[in-house]
Amino acid sequence: MSQLHKRFTSDQVQELLERYLKKEVERKYIQETLGISRRRFFMLLKQYREDPPHFTIQYHRTAPPRSISTEIEQNILKELAIEKKIIRDKEIPLSTYNYSYIKDRLRKTYRQKVSLNTIIHRAKKHGFYLKKPQRTLHDREVLTRYTGELIQHDSSYHLWAPAAKEKWYLITSLDDYSRFLLYAALVRKETSWAHILALQTVILRHGLPFAYYVDSHSIFRFVRGRDSLWYQHHLLTDETTPQWKQVLQDCNVKVTHSLSPQARGKIERPYGWLQDRLIRTCVREDIADIKPAQQVLRQEIHRYNYRQVHSTTQEIPYFRFQKALKEKQSLFREFKIPPPFQSVKDIFCLRMDRTVDAYRRVSIHHVPFKVHADPRKQVNLRIYPLNDQLSEIRFWCEGKLINVYKIKSSDLEGVHF
């Protein structure tokens, strides 16, 4: 609420006080009308009683406004100019000024402490101001009761670092209850393996959640008519299980799918927050490669998880997450390798089936492998990329590990998983 002298004249307040003294109106109604506290009411009443003819509510500044140094002024205008350039670039998905970011930037980069109002005042004065679009009412709420009850998982494709001249994917996993970001990584190409690696990181670090919540992207869900090849038209939606979903089936973790972007608001807001700050930092530091961009992302994730009060929960995500764990308000379960498998490489991997030929061999993309299995037996291959150059293939037949081979990752290019 604005200040009293901006909403009422001295005569209007004087009239109400006079009616109170004559016992015509009770105090609580005057307080509610003026929008003031009990203490403020009696201060005004005392002032009026002491000198009724000269009573006034007009505000008079007793001290001159504090000024900022020329250096700080120049840095504010410098950062505002960068903001303006970013907004005008149609290739960058930002359309508003972020004065809070500039405040943090001045503190972190220049070691200068400036109030947000000072930055906004300079922005308006020098033409670095855009009227904010009208926002829809924020009516989100936490629907889950436990941490680990629902993990929101998604990816976003943007020009995160304009100097790089290429778009990257940001893959994230978010705990719905605490809003704690469990995973975040930038990748050049969105693949099933990139999402499986996210699963591995979250599950090995925190345990098995109750459910994952994703959209209907082909990596997460087979949809009839969209993903079917000509020889698969008999398949119905969800009759074929994508690689990513097979991992969660081995782990006995439920998967649910959102039907619209609106239903994924909780994960979209962190994306907006990260997008805003990540892009601005990459522009200022002239980042043109994904590795330093990942470093910036790591810093922003740390800020979001450990320092930022979430607008919905009104808590810092990390502390809300830890509090739930401490109070046993968690559905995370300990991860154990399900038998007969022997390694995490058997679970968090890419899979395919092959039939052993008459020479006791199976082939992947014309690369033959000798296996210890009888001809015509079905063999399940579990492929684990060790790095960009090398992958490990573990051959399973009738519940037994029969062979382990390493292969150049380039030999797997073109294989459809």
> What is the 3-state secondary structure of 137-158?
CCCCCCCCCCECCCEEEEEEEE
C-alpha–C-alpha distance, residues 393 and 405, integer Å? 5
Cα 283 to Cα 48, 68, 158, 164, 310: the distances in Å are 57, 27, 14, 10, 26
C-alpha–C-alpha distance, residues 216 and 296, integer Å? 30
Q: What does the pLDDT read at residue 260?
A: 57
C-alpha–C-alpha distance, residues 239 and 186, integer Å? 31
Q: What does the pLDDT read at residue 266?
A: 52
The CATH number corresponding to 151-326 among 3.30.420.10, 3.40.50.620, 3.30.420.40, 3.40.50.300 equals 3.30.420.10
Give me the residue spans of the domains in the chain. Answer: 4-54, 70-125, 151-326, 344-412
How close are the terminal C-alpha atoms of the chain, in Å? 59
Query: Residue 346, SS3?
Result: helix
Q: What does the pLDDT read at residue 222?
A: 63
Answer yes or no: are the C-beta atoms of 145 and 278 closer than 8 Å.
Answer: no
DSSP string, 265-282: HHHHHHHHHHHHHHHHHH
For the beta carbon of residue 274, count every other beta carbon within 10 angstroms.
22
C-alpha–C-alpha distance, residues 111 and 320, integer Å? 31
For the beta carbon of residue 206, count every other beta carbon within 10 angstroms.
21
Q: Tokens 């889950």 map to which residue?
A: 144
Q: How many CA atoms lie within 13 A of 316 on its CB side?
A: 11
Q: What does the pLDDT read at residue 270?
A: 64
Q: What does the pLDDT read at residue 267?
A: 54
Q: What does the pLDDT read at residue 182?
A: 96
- Parts of the chain with a pLDDT under 50: 137-140, 226, 228-239
